[in-house]
Structure 1
Amino acid sequence: MTDATADDGADGPVVVDLHSSCTTQDVATGERYRATVNGVVEYGVFVDLSENVSGLVHESTFDGDEDFDVGDETVVHLTEIRDNGDLSFELADPDDPETVDRAHDYERTAAASVGDRVGDTVHVEGEVVQIKQTAGPTIFRVRDETNAVPCTAFEDAGVRAHPDVEVGDFVHVNGEVEEREGTYQIEVGSLDVLDGDESADVARRLDAAFAEQAEPVDTEPLVEWPALEQMIPGLRDVARTLRRAVLEGRPIRMRHHADGDGMCASVPVQYALTQFIEDAHHDEDAARHLLKRLPSKAPYYEMEDATRDLNFALEDRARHGQKLPLLLMLDNGSTEEDTPAYKTLDHYDIPIVVVDHHHPDPEAVDPLVDEHVNPYLHGEDYRITTGMLCVELARMIYPGLTDELEHVPAVAGLSDRSKADAMTDYLDLARDAGYDEEFLQQISEALDYEAYMLRYDPGTQLINDVLNVNGDDERHRELVPFLAERADEDVAEQLDAAESHVEHERVANGANLYRIDVENHAHRFTYPAPGKTTGEIHDRKVEETGEPVITIGYGPDFAVLRSDGVRLDIPTMVEDLNDELPGAGVSGGGHLVVGSIRFVPGMREEVLDALIEKMAEAELDEELRSAPQR
């Protein structure tokens, strides 16, 4: 500042009202300022012009009639800035003053560089992405174009500081940089919500930066496969959406089918997102708060899961000041059965992204989701598994993961019995990475076994070791054969008990129909579950007969369906059964030739009879042999 006063060029006396962030760099001798009394002493009064500007009005400048208390407001005239930085004022009482607001002329500090400014006062502008109340300070996590930085503000212990500030506000933070337990934070001197042009400028600046930083990594697919290449643009859109969510501080809840392909889809994406979160937030704990991987037992998004997800999201927002999450559905989420849960979330700000390979109902799903990638939408089918898609997605999210993921598409394909021509290329790729087909099959069985044992727990480190994605390679090589052997023993024991109870008939179209009451003729509450038991029986019958086979494993209110060499359309059958059997409550779906349905127990015989009748009318098709079994 120069010695030129604010009165220059003004019509009347000007009184400057300093912004709380202003410093002595923003004042000049000869100017008048609005001030607040912060202390009364024998030789005068101390006044504050801002959070950082204070000085003395000496009693010698009083007329003698003034009587001040702490908190009183007055107008002062700056008479001297001493060499030591002290400010001297005298009282002023201008007639008809004109008040002029003055903001601090500061240089913004990038949040990513606050670690280089320990002990300095800095100014950061950005968006509040989290507000967390502790037993001591309130912690505002502020994100600018470069990073997110915690800003601690103190009131009384446990009392919310700056209660007018909300998540999503654009703010200006002024304070001193501190180092605490290896991380850096700003102890807030002032925190102001920006509005008008200032807010719009910050919003535009962040939007432009996030748009650039959210761009996916340029990758080439692991194998040459025209069918897959059609989906690369959609996967890039998903990668862009996920990276943007991370940059904006939005949590991600990842739901996936709890089977081999579902884990081959979710684990690489979890790994990639974790790495990207740590880079974007420079906080070892950020991924723990911003990313959750959650298995789903049903082949669709159940209302129970949706209600649980929504409840956790609302509690996290209330307790930890987080934004509502983005829901990422993997190997699940494409069918009409998903829509009630989606409609529940639609009442809140929860974007939904789907990557799946089950037969979709885009008319029902697409109005409720932001992104939807599915091979059926491109004239392809289940042979492109979700795990294959998501390995490409993970590579787009974070660079340098290829070497750790080269075997995963082959495991996904084996898990879902994909007969795609590209399986040969994926198996070759895995072999070059040190995995022969027998060991890949063991990984698939181990994943299926652990999915059953974990129930609703993601078992992150355990599954990482089994799949060898961000896991322990030595432990992986020892653990997989052990788990696969345990799974084989349990399957053999189950089939020994169940196989003598399998009923057989040849239906009208010439296919072999096998039926098994898995509720009464198989061990309950143990591995393998009814779906796996039915699939294993089905595989044996296909191998024994070499002919078209349909297998139904049923219980009081459910049926698991498998077929080889029969052109079924299970989602359409479910719709028809609902129309033909009012009160049966039929629901379910899956792949065209593999799926499960539910119904009310009292209508079981009617549902099964009608279902078998439809299967008996289905056309035989050798191309559908060896369809996916999960």
Structure 2
Amino acid sequence: MTRSAAGDSGTDPAEGVVYDLAADCTHEDIEEGARYLATVNGVVKYGVFVDISDHVSGLVHESSLIGDYDVGDDLVVDLVEIRENGDLGFEEVDVDIDAVDVEAVVHGDDARVEDLDEHVGDTVHLEGDVVQIKQTAGPTIFAVRDGTGVVPCAAFEEAGVRAYPDIELDDTVRITGDVETREGSVQIETDNLVRLRGAAAEEVRERVDAALEERAEPADVEPLIEWPAFEKLRDDLAAVARQLRVAVLDSRPIRLRHHADGDGMCASVPVQLALDNFIAEVHEDGDAPQHLFKRLPSKAPYYEMEDVTRDLNFALEDEERHGQRLPLLFMVDNGSTEEDTPAYRAMAQYDIPILVVDHHHPDPDAVGPLLEEHVNPYLHDEDYRITTGMMCVELARMIDPTITDQLEHVPAVAGLSDRSKADAMDDYLALADDAGYSEADLRDIGEAMDYAAHWLRYNSGDNLINDVLNLDCDDPERHEELVEFLSTRAQRDVDEQLDDAEPHVEHEPLDNGAHLYRLDVENHARRFTYPAPGKTTGELHDRKVTETGDPVITIGYGPDFAVLRSDGVRLDIPNMVTELQDEIPGAGVSGGGHLVVGSIKFVSGMREPVIDALVEKMENAELDEELRSTLLRDGGE
């Protein structure tokens, strides 16, 4: 329990209660016979001098001491006498400080984080949990949450010296200080910080936990379109939204890794927008969004060891230098396959939670035990036609429903970028049309994003991508001009690449009636420029589908890799990879993707037998009219 001493004549002694005085409490706030939490400020031959506030001190005579103490030690004392001259006499009380009820005695108003802007200039009292401790060149900054928000509390000992060194992460504390603004953000200039114990700590923790549970609940929003297949995923997405909101409330950094393609960006950027808004709503520190969220593109469709070692190193540096918690990892449009497991096991060494939203064919037995949440349409008897962008737009709206109007065109861009043949595409295209985007506009946006992502490489390019996708963009004319510029250059580069590659494309009719096209992208396509080998293969494939109107398989290969595209042929690329691993020992086969879109790797010396085995499997595959493209729906994985 916490009591305010403002206006009181003193503390009324209560059986078994230990009073903890705020720094500004005076003799008017004390009472003979009461117990107080004291700190030793001096040791002499005949006892120890103790402070029970900045203004109230006294002596514990050696005859009344139970233990041996040094300056800075805490103990519980009984105020046995207030002498006429104002001197105080104390006796030590033999109790366990962590087991007694500690009641705060403070001046100022009780306050909540969400109301601090109404208390600027006032002295307030705030109770909550410490969620970050950052030592600066000046003060120590304690980030404290109370369930309604998180506020930085600056405590100064001396420049660069840790204030309140006994306070640790996750301690339940009481802060007393003045509310001020700094660089446009509210913070508390700390006069006193005390770790709560016993029933007082338990009461605050229960109150904070209840508020956090309520605040973490995602918004109950209706999907943008009616789609029975999507309903199977709604609860899974809500669970991810809840985990992400909890991370924000815990001041746990979120690292979002996504496939650097059109669908991956249509999935990750809306979530970034939603989380930035929620972080700004919860945290009084105006810089919190840039510290607590990072979007990180991945070129590979799985979590590479190069990426995970870099992510872990940055996380450990942030923990040491800035007092941050270790992050939550959120994988988007990748992360579902066995190839991800080595990186996940590296994260497991540090107990870093991992969430995945993906639509690639999963290996649930391999990744499932390593994930907190795994959302994938294949886990509900659906498939890749539900793109990650479609799912993550709904996820973003669960985190922050106010951004709905900004996102209405994004699922259609995601679907076109990833060649989705979902029944829902017509509805998404109609929704985008109502928002002012024609199908041609959406295709150009997807092409512009793909082109920008290629040149950004490992940079997230937040501002540029937001302008291309027209999210949070305050200049519609700039958006249109930017998309036209980027998409036009992208199409020019694609056309030049295909025109140069066409004479080297090998064609072979397969026994099952499909056309097989092969291209050595290492030797007959420009390297280190746009389009990359995967995009080149996809664009060549689309051209051949349009030309023939028949089932088509396209292979773009290099020394140690092959990119596969298929329309109208019932392939299972992840299963084919598994079979090749058993059938061709020593080939180092790995890879996967969707059923009809994917890539594989192998050792360069085994390229010929691996590709020959692939072709044989493709030749034995059945044709499937349902998997054939609508001819003019092009795009790139």
| TM-score for the superposition, normalised by structure 2 | 0.88
Contact 1:77 1:89 in 2 (8 A): no
Partner amino acid, structure 1, of 2:575:
T
Out of 590, 594, 617, the position equivalent to 2:620 is 617
**TM alignment of 1:86-97, pairs within 5 A:** 88-90=85-87, 92=89
Out of 467, 476, 491, the position equivalent to 1:488 is 491
Structure 1 551/110 Cα, relative in aligned 2: closer, same or farther at 3 Å? same
For residues 203-246 of structure 1, give each alpha carbon's deviation from its aligned partner in whole angstroms, at most 9, with x where no partner exists.
Answer: 32222111111111121111111111111111111111111111
Report SS of the residue matched to 1:382: coil
1:334 & 1:55 partners in 2: Cα distance? 63
Query: Counterpart of 2:64?
Result: none
Instruction: Check if 1:497 corresponds to 2:494.
Output: no
Which stretch of the first structure deviates more once superposed, 542-551 or 408-417? 542-551
Query: Counterpart of 1:606?
Result: 609
Contact 2:551 2:623 in 1 (8 A): yes
Query: Counterpart of 1:533?
Result: 536
Partner amino acid, structure 2, of 1:89:
G
Structure 1 110/511 Cα, relative in aligned 2: closer, same or farther at 3 Å? same
Query: Counterpart of 1:105?
Result: 105
1:228 & 1:163 partners in 2: Cα distance? 51
1:49 & 1:194 partners in 2: Cα distance? 18
1:37 & 1:347 partners in 2: Cα distance? 42
**TM alignment of 1:252-267, pairs within 5 A:** 252-267=254-269
Query: Counterpart of 2:253?
Result: 251
Query: Counterpart of 1:566?
Result: 569
Contact 1:51 1:190 in 2 (8 A): no
Out of 330, 337, 344, the position equivalent to 1:328 is 330
Give the superposition deviation at 1:91.
5.9
Which stretch of the first structure deviates more once superposed, 126-135 or 101-110? 101-110
Structure 1 518/47 Cα, relative in aligned 2: closer, same or farther at 3 Å? same
Give the superposition deviation at 1:552.
0.5
Contact 2:279 2:289 in 1 (8 A): yes
Report SS of the residue matched to 2:138: coil
Structure 1 34/498 Cα, relative in aligned 2: closer, same or farther at 3 Å? closer
Partner amino acid, structure 2, of 1:466:
V
**TM alignment of 1:22-421, pairs within 5 A:** 23-24=25-26, 26-28=29-31, 49-54=51-56, 77-79=81-83, 88-90=85-87, 92=89, 103-106=103-106, 108-421=110-423
2:228 & 2:220 partners in 1: Cα distance? 18
Out of 539, 545, 548, the position equivalent to 1:545 is 548
Query: Counterpart of 2:520?
Result: 517
Structure 1 285/547 Cα, relative in aligned 2: closer, same or farther at 3 Å? same
Report SS of the residue matched to 1:626: coil
Partner amino acid, structure 1, of 2:86:
F
Structure 1 117/595 Cα, relative in aligned 2: closer, same or farther at 3 Å? same
Report SS of the residue matched to 1:237: helix
Report SS of the residue matched to 2:86: strand
Corresponding residue pairs, total = 600
Contact 2:238 2:395 in 1 (8 A): yes
Contact 1:167 1:323 in 2 (8 A): no
Which stretch of the first structure deviates more once superposed, 110-119 or 462-471? 110-119
Query: Counterpart of 1:453?
Result: 455
1:9 & 1:208 partners in 2: Cα distance? 29
- State percent identity of aligned pairs: 65
Structure 1 436/121 Cα, relative in aligned 2: closer, same or farther at 3 Å? same
Contact 1:352 1:368 in 2 (8 A): yes
Query: Counterpart of 1:83?
Result: none
Structure 1 195/577 Cα, relative in aligned 2: closer, same or farther at 3 Å? farther
Partner amino acid, structure 1, of 2:240:
V
Query: Counterpart of 1:508?
Result: 511
Query: Counterpart of 2:437?
Result: 435
1:417 & 1:3 partners in 2: Cα distance? 74
1:369 & 1:233 partners in 2: Cα distance? 16
Structure 1 452/34 Cα, relative in aligned 2: closer, same or farther at 3 Å? closer
1:159 & 1:587 partners in 2: Cα distance? 52
Structure 1 47/256 Cα, relative in aligned 2: closer, same or farther at 3 Å? same
Query: Counterpart of 2:67?
Result: none
Which stretch of the first structure deviates more once superposed, 329-338 or 459-468? 329-338
Contact 1:32 1:92 in 2 (8 A): no
1:201 & 1:17 partners in 2: Cα distance? 16
Query: Counterpart of 1:60?
Result: none
For residues 171-224 of structure 1, give each alpha carbon's deviation from its aligned partner in whole angstroms, at most 9, with x where no partner exists.
Answer: 222233333333232222332333443333333222211111111112111111
Structure 1 78/178 Cα, relative in aligned 2: closer, same or farther at 3 Å? farther
Report SS of the residue matched to 1:367: helix
Structure 1 316/343 Cα, relative in aligned 2: closer, same or farther at 3 Å? same
Contact 2:303 2:339 in 1 (8 A): yes
Structure 1 348/30 Cα, relative in aligned 2: closer, same or farther at 3 Å? closer
Instruction: Check if 1:587 corresponds to 2:593.
Output: no
Give the superposition deviation at 1:427.
0.7
1:615 & 1:244 partners in 2: Cα distance? 47
For residues 59-86 of structure 1, give each alpha carbon's deviation from its aligned partner in whole angstroms, at most 9, with x where no partner exists.
Answer: xxxxxxxxxxx99999873246xxxxxx
Q: List alignment gaps of at least 5 residues for structure 2.
A: 1-7, 43-47, 60-70
2:459 & 2:200 partners in 1: Cα distance? 46
1:289 & 1:396 partners in 2: Cα distance? 22
2:35 & 2:621 partners in 1: Cα distance? 92
Contact 2:175 2:190 in 1 (8 A): yes
Structure 1 361/186 Cα, relative in aligned 2: closer, same or farther at 3 Å? same
2:430 & 2:410 partners in 1: Cα distance? 12
Contact 1:35 1:47 in 2 (8 A): no
Partner amino acid, structure 1, of 2:196:
L
1:361 & 1:37 partners in 2: Cα distance? 61
1:134 & 1:266 partners in 2: Cα distance? 32
Contact 2:179 2:187 in 1 (8 A): yes
For residues 42-100 of structure 1, give each alpha carbon's deviation from its aligned partner in whole angstroms, at most 9, with x where no partner exists.
Answer: xxxx976423433799xxxxxxxxxxxx99999873246xxxxxxx4246488x98889
Partner amino acid, structure 2, of 1:397:
I
1:446 & 1:302 partners in 2: Cα distance? 26
For residues 241-291 of structure 1, give each alpha carbon's deviation from its aligned partner in whole angstroms, at most 9, with x where no partner exists.
Answer: 111111111111011110001111011110011111101113321100000
Contact 1:47 1:54 in 2 (8 A): no
Which stretch of the first structure deviates more once superposed, 201-210 or 347-356? 201-210
Contact 1:31 1:77 in 2 (8 A): no
Query: Counterpart of 1:557?
Result: 560
Report SS of the residue matched to 1:19: strand
For residues 554-579 of structure 1, give each alpha carbon's deviation from its aligned partner in whole angstroms, at most 9, with x where no partner exists.
Answer: 00111000011111111111111111
Please identify the structure whose Cα radius of gyration is greater: 1
Give the superposition deviation at 1:373.
1.1
Give the superposition deviation at 1:30.
8.0
Give the superposition deviation at 1:527.
0.2
1:418 & 1:122 partners in 2: Cα distance? 56
1:169 & 1:37 partners in 2: Cα distance? 22
Report SS of the residue matched to 1:327: strand
Give the alignment's Cα RMSD to 1 decimal.
Answer: 2.9
Give the superposition deviation at 1:165.
2.2
For residues 466-513 of structure 1, give each alpha carbon's deviation from its aligned partner in whole angstroms, at most 9, with x where no partner exists.
Answer: 000112322111111111100010001111111100011122322111
Contact 1:167 1:322 in 2 (8 A): no
